[in-house]
Amino acid sequence: MVRNYQNSTPNKRNRQSGPKSGFKWTNTRVYSVVEEQQKQVVEPPPPERLGRMDKGLIALTLCLIAIGILMVYSASHLLSSRHYEGYSYRYLQIHIIACVLGLVGMFFTSHLPYRFYARFANFFLLLAFIGLLLVFVPGLGTSVQGAEGGRFKRWINIGLPINFQPVEFAKIALVIHVANFISRNPERIKSFFNGVLPNILIVGAAFGLVYIQPDFGSATLLVVTACIVLFVGGMRIWHVVTLGSVGGSLIGFLIIRDSYKLKRLMDYLAMLKSPDATNYQLTRSLDALENGGLLGLGIDSSLQKISRLPYPHTDFIFAVLGEEFGFIGAVTVTFIFMLLVWRGLQIARHARDLFASLLAIGITTLIGLQAFINIGVVTGLLPTKGITLPFISYGGSSIVLSLVSVGILLNISRSSNKNVD
């Protein structure tokens, strides 16, 4: 449970050991305020000289971006040639444009004080809901054919090669909102009606709008990330258990009533019981990983991507990576993601105040969960779900906003109590 920030002058007598369970943070900084105000400190004092950026986080991010550019080229040039009259580099061009825009955004947000997001948390939340609604406006929202024969309404046409996917912005906006809500009054989150329920209603509304696009994977990711931030922020255990039970039942109901999702789940369970069971996507993915062996077939040598593996440049790009770079390449990328998550948690641990800690936790959770869900799906540890691999999969909005999120982490690290080792 995150330590509360009390309104008192920092000294040794005011430092307490904190609760014995939950997260323990080393940032015990507390601030003095005018006695008659009698309210929680929302704004920290003017920051001291900013420290250096987390070079480790920068290096890990750039490494993943470089791997992503290489893999998008390898996994997409045949599809691009097929879809764009022999032109093999269309997907690669769009991906590189997204990377450049994202790196510019990362540089900007790394120099923008993180308290800016607390001041405009409600505004960002409003923009997120407007974006989630605009995808349903005819002529503005764009859709694509889904694997189950339906249409996915997940993008907004902004007149650029890259369409905007509002759910990617909504993920960050919800994290900012929850972090700001808790940091303004940490005790309030212990109350179900005054603290937990208002956040659950907002997160539930976002879940509903994303689910009907339909994007069940991103909708679930939104809820899980928000609940993790609420729990780390001080939500009571019995509230967590209650919400987990209700949420699990709701997700189960939504899966049962959707024949396509139910079929995916049953195919996955059948695959676990018998490897000979039919599960086309997972079978092709595992075949690719098996073909790669220890060292891989070499760059652009994947056989499964030619016509067998579905979505080789997006959802199943990790399978192509495993086939071309082998077990060692797949493990290396997984390890890089683990290091990135560790750096994010270290930044959260040493953050200057409660809002920064929760914001860093939320961003790290978003990136880490998405990465490990994607890897879990590709390796058969989880049922098939359309979630891309951060920084590596082809996708404009995801790349840009993931890099913007890393920029926020970098600013938090620059403003932290001490440099992260």
Query: Could you read off the pLDDT of 108-150 as tens digits, one per residue?
Result: 999 999 999 999 999 999 999 999 999 888 877 776 655 554 5
At 2, is the pLDDT very low, low, confident or very high (cuts 50, 70, 90)? very low
Q: Token pair for residue 43?
A: 């704004």
Q: How many domains does the chain have?
A: 1
Residue 162 is assigned to a structural domain of this protein? yes
**Domain assignment present for 4:** no
pLDDT digits (tens, 9 = 90+) for 330-382: 999 999 999 999 999 999 999 999 999 999 999 999 999 999 999 999 998 88
Predicted structure pTM score: 0.84
DSSP 164: B
Please indicate, yes or no, if residue 47 is contained in any of the structural domains: no
What is the distance, to the nearest Å, from the Cα of residue 33 to the centroid of all Cα atoms in its chain? 36
Residue 58 lies in a domain: no
**How many other β-carbons are positioned within 10 Å of the β-carbon of residue 242?**
13
Could you tell me if residue 16 is inside a domain? no
Residue 34 has pLDDT above 50, yes or no: no
Q: Look at residue 278 in the predicted model and tell me its pLDDT.
A: 61
Burial of residue 371 (CB within 10 Å: 0-12, 13-18, 19+) is buried
**Would you say 24 and 18 are in contact if contact means Cβ atoms under 8 Å apart?**
yes
Q: Which of 23-27, 90-94, 294-298, 319-323 has the lowest mean pLDDT?
A: 23-27
Whether 309 is in a domain gets the answer yes
Is 349 a domain residue? yes
pLDDT at 35: 34
Average pLDDT, the chain: 83
How far apart (Å, rounded) are the C-alpha atoms in residues 286 and 390? 21
pLDDT value at residue 421: 54
pLDDT of res. 202: 96
**Which residue, 317, 322, 320, is CA-closest to 387?**
317
Band (pLDDT 50/70/90 cuts) for residue 306 is confident
372/244: higher pLDDT:
372
Q: Which domain holds residue 379?
A: 63-414
Q: What percent of the chain has pLDDT over 70?
A: 81
State residue 386's pLDDT score.
Answer: 78
**Per-residue confidence (pLDDT) for residue 47, from 0 to 100:** 47
Confidence of residue 273 (pLDDT cuts 50, 70, 90): low
Q: Which pLDDT does position 19 carry in this prediction?
A: 41
Mean per-residue pLDDT for 265-284? 72
**214 cis-preceded (ω within 30 degrees of 0):** yes
Higher-scoring residue by pLDDT: 17, 294: 294
Query: Residue 278: which residues within 8 A CB-CB, separation 6 or more?
Result: 267, 270
Q: For residue 354, give both structure tokens.
A: 């409660």
pLDDT at 419 over 60: no
375 found inside a domain: yes
> What pLDDT is stored for residue 45 in this prediction?
43
Q: Which of 72-81, 147-156, 284-293, 324-333 has the highest mean pLDDT?
A: 324-333
User: Would you state the pLDDT for residue 161?
Assistant: 66
Q: Is 296 helix (H, G, I), strand (E, B) or coil?
A: coil
Amino acid 39: pLDDT: 41
pLDDT at 9 over 60: no
AA identity, residue 50: L
- Using only C-alpha atoms, the chain has a radius of gyration, in whole angstroms, of 22
Q: Name the token pair of 311.
A: 């979505």
Tokens of 282: 């997972």
